[in-house]
């Protein structure tokens, strides 16, 4: 046995996706960073040891244009390429690689932090060190540094140093939350074990062990959906421990969960009710996937109202979109639904003030232990959202060192700088425009080889089937600066009329029909298909999305295309729920107007007049994701127009050190690490594949190729420019090919001085 001391700038404890993202972010900012994990693999609940699929703001496709970017976005895209089948072992290495790739990051696995030291009174504590024990190696390590991040999920580090925290459910009166109980109660969301099955192709018997529970003596067969073909996180509802102490009773909870899994498998194999003769039990988790325990108190406590009302914060540093997802404390033994969910009508913000301790001056946190009520935590706790918070916390820690500031002082004096740093890294932000003084593109004139001047779907090609308007249908359309008419390709079984409405969406990040702006009736003649023009006037002061709603008329059919234009989505007016173990509140518009029934398809339509929604200047508009429009430049089709180019010109020569490019990877597509659903594209076809960046030399007046890239499959690319490049008066991004899409799409073209 030996003892060692490691000193670093930033020490992150907890190797789940929050901790990984925090540590990688800090390391990328040049900070000597340590990441400590108590397990042999990274990823926390998403790892091969637990195998929960990574959920986030997309909410399995319920939210729109909501997939996270930044570090977790990198991992999701990489996993889609390496691991389209959703192998949890392959996912382990995706996470491990992104950590080991960083030269400033030291990783310690199998290291349990057992002690922590702090100084100061209860209301002003300061962490000085944490001490960990590395199993197998028999090494005791003391970690010292100026800043610490608790990403342990359970909040172990904060507890050891005296950080104020909450346990259980607050009373309704404390934060005026509608879904909170009348009185506070120490109850939690329970923990879960998962299992995998395998078809061996021949009959396999199963003899239940003595520890298997007879589930016929429980409410489970009557209240939960059991299917022989399901495995893994489909059985998220095997949950228990909410009425116990999640940490202190962890072993008891694990034993109970395992006994129920064995009992469920006995029921599937031996009851005669299932087609399961050839199935065997391949894997059972032995580490309970925890949902809830300590939640630290920060300078701001995220509330139910912040989620549902989508409150905008001047220190918003991450976003979520998962529902407020609350489970009964009895877990799998409850007779009601396994979960009750309520969605916001679009993504919601998470403020930086919820990511640092109110009374420990150098402690930040990210993940399910942030400053939130039990109700708000129900929406913020899922792993991709935790990862987005982790990137924000790690970036903030680095800036604290830049300014010799505490996290609170960073909020008070430098929160705008924090948000700009996150935006520059393409992190998960909404409503934050580029105000970076070092980005020379902001002062340039922007031109392009061309752009998509009309918002249209399938207008120049064959339709892909017809869809009868048995339900209301909505078409999300970007408007910049004005919408006047919408042409629709329709068929009808008889002469009839169709009501066409224009609805605004309420908030720039929303894509639901919130406010009626105009209504018109058009006549549709029997037969078709034929074009029908509807008056759809809308002239917003700022670029916005609208929803053109076609009211139900079963005598009318729209014609569909499976080529979805940039900035366009299709909504269907019906309540959609694909998990019968869940009760979903239909109070909000999001669940009343799902995209899943026609996702990836659109009615054949075209709007007038021409639009600037996809014009070249949108690539320097300052936003990295849809917000009142798509915020990207979309070229003309490469097959007909040839290579596309986007050009920046300056009045005087400039010098720069790097180029940052953000390409569209269709953040409306929900990617999943394991097996909830599968996207067929290993590389997102919208991504630019082959490109080069040329600069116009101020000295010679000639174009020089500074960057030449082939085979790109990433969204965010950072290219250092040659040190001897010299001054230039123009920069040109030339795109020769995408990964399958007809046109090139560029979200950001930044030239950093």
Question: Is the pLDDT at 544 greater than 70, yes or no?
Answer: yes
Mean pLDDT of 607-620: 96
Angle among Cα 95, 97, 101 to the nearest 5 degrees reads 130
Confidence of residue 491 (pLDDT cuts 50, 70, 90): very high
Q: What DSSP line would sit under 685-747, residue for residue?
A: TTSEEEEEEEEEETTT--EEEEEEE-S---SEEEEEPPTT---EEEEEEEEEEESS-SS-EEE
- The whole-model pTM stands at 0.96
pLDDT digits (tens, 9 = 90+) for 503-532: 999 999 999 999 999 999 999 999 989 999
pLDDT exceeds cutoff 90 at 586: no
List, as one string, the DSSP characters of 515-545.
EEEEEEEEEE-SEEEEEEEEEEEE--SS-EE
> Residue 487 corresponds to which tokens in the numbers above?
């042409």
* Cβ-proximal residues to 422 (8 Å cutoff; 6+ apart), any chain: 70, 317, 391, 392, 395, 429, 432
Question: Whole-number mean pLDDT of the chain?
Answer: 96
Amino acid 234: pLDDT: 87
Peptide bond into 481 cis (omega under 30): yes
Exposed e or buried b per residue across 360-399, where buried means at least 16 C-beta atoms within 10 angstroms of its C-beta: bbbbbbbbbbbbbbbbbbbbbbbbbbbbbbbbbbbbbbbb
The distance in angstroms from the start CA to the end CA of the chain is 50
- Spatial contact of 703 and 694, defined as CB atoms under 8 Å apart: yes
pLDDT at 1: 84
| Residue 695: per-residue pLDDT | 98
pLDDT digits (tens, 9 = 90+) for 1-45: 899 999 999 999 999 999 999 999 999 999 999 999 999 999 999
What is the pLDDT at residue 459? 67
Phi, psi of 614 (to 5 degrees): -125, 25
Report, as an integer, the average pLDDT of 635-662: 96
Mean pLDDT throughout 619-623? 93
Share of the chain above pLDDT 90, in %: 93
pLDDT at 461: 58
pLDDT tens per residue across span 362-380? 999 999 999 999 999 999 9
Banded model confidence at residue 460, pLDDT cuts 50, 70, 90: low
Give the pLDDT score at 463. 63
Supply the pLDDT for residue 233.
81
In this structure, of 175-189, 194-208, 450-464, 539-553, the range with the lowest mean pLDDT score is 450-464
Give the tokens for residue 283: 């894997």
| SS3 call for 319 | strand
Q: What pLDDT score was predicted for residue 77?
A: 97
């Amino acid at each position: 046995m030996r003892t060692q001391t490691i000193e670093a700038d930033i020490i992150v404890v907890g190797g789940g996706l929050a901790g990984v993202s925090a540590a990688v972010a800090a390391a990328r900012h040049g900070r000597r960073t340590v990441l400590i994990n108590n397990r042999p693999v990274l990823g926390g609940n998403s790892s091969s040891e637990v195998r929960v699929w990574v959920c986030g703001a997309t909410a399995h496709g319920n939210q729109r244009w909501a997939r996270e970017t930044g570090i977790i976005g990198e991992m999701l895209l990489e996993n889609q390429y390496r691991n389209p089948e959703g192998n949890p072992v392959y996912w382990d290495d995706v996470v491990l690689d992104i950590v080991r790739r960083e030269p400033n990051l030291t990783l310690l696995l199998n290291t349990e932090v057992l002690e922590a030291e702090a100084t100061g009174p209860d209301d002003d504590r300061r962490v000085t060190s944490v001490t960990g024990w590395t199993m197998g190696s028999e090494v005791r390590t003391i970690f010292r540094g100026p800043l610490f991040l608790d990403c342990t999920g359970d909040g172990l580090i904060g507890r050891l140093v005296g950080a104020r925290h909450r346990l259980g459910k607050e009373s309704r009166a404390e934060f005026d939350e509608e879904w909170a109980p009348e009185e506070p109660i120490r109850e939690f969301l329970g923990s879960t074990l998962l299992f995998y099955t395998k078809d061996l192709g021949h009959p396999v018997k199963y003899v239940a062990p003595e520890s298997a529970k007879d589930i016929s003596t429980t409410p489970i067969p009557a209240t939960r959906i059991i299917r022989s073909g399901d495995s893994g996180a489909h059985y998220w509802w095997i949950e228990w421990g909410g009425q116990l102490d999640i940490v202190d009773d962890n072993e008891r909870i694990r034993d109970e969960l395992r006994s129920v899994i064995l009992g469920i498998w006995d029921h599937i194999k031996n009851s005669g009710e299932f087609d399961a003769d050839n199935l065997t039990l391949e894997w059972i988790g032995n580490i309970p996937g925890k949902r809830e325990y300590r939640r630290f108190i920060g300078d701001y406590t995220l509330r139910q109202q912040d989620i549902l009302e989508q409150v905008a914060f001047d220190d918003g540093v991450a976003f979520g979109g998962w529902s407020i997802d609350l489970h009964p404390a009895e877990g799998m033994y409850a007779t009601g639904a396994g979960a009750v969910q309520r969605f916001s009508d679009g993504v919601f913000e998470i403020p930086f003030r919820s990511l640092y301790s109110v009374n420990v001056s150098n402690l930040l946190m990210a993940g399910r232990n942030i400053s939130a009520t039990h109700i708000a935590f129900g929406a913020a706790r899922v792993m991709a959202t935790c990862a987005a918070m982790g990137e924000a916390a790690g970036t903030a820690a680095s800036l604290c060192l830049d300014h010799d500031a505490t996290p609170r002082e960073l909020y008070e004096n430098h929160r705008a700088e924090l948000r700009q740093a996150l935006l520059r890294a393409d992190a998960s932000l909404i409503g934050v425009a580029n105000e970076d003084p070092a980005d020379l593109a902001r002062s340039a004139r922007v031109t392009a080889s061309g752009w998509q001047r009309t918002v249209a779907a399938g207008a120049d090609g064959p339709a892909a089937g017809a869809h009868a308007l048995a339900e209301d249908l909505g078409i999300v359309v970007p408007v910049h600066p004005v919408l006047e008419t919408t042409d629709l390709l329709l068929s009808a079984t008889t002469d009839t009329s169709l009501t066409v409405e224009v609805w605004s969406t309420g908030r720039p990040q929303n894509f639901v029909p919130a406010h009626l702006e105009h209504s018109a009736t058009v006549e549709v003649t029997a037969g078709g298909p034929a074009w029908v023009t509807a008056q759809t006037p809308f002239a917003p002061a700022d670029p916005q999305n609208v929803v053109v709603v076609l009211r139900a008329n079963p005598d009318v059919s729209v014609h569909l295309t499976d080529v979805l234009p940039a900035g366009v989505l299709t909504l269907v007016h019906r309540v959609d729920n694909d998990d019968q173990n869940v009760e979903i509140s239909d109070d909000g518009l999001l669940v009343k107007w799902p995209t899943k029934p026609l996702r990836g398809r659109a009615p054949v339509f075209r709007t007038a007049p021409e639009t600037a929604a996809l014009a070249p200047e949108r690539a320097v508009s300052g936003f990295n994701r849809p917000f009142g429009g798509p915020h990207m430049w979309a070229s003309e089709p490469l097959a007909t127009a040839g290579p596309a180019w986007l050009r920046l010109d300056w009045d005087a020569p400039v010098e720069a050190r790097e180029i940052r490019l953000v390409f569209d990877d269709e953040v409306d597509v929900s990617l999943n690490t394991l097996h909830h659903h599968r996207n067929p594209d290993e590389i997102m076809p919208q991504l630019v594949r082959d490109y080069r960046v040329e600069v116009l030399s101020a000295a010679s007046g000639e174009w020089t190729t500074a960057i030449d890239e082939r085979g790109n499959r990433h969204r965010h690319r950072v290219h250092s420019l040659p040190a001897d490049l010299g001054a230039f008066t123009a920069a040109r991004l030339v795109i020769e090919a995408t990964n399958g899409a007809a046109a090139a799409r560029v979200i950001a073209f930044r030239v950093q001085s």
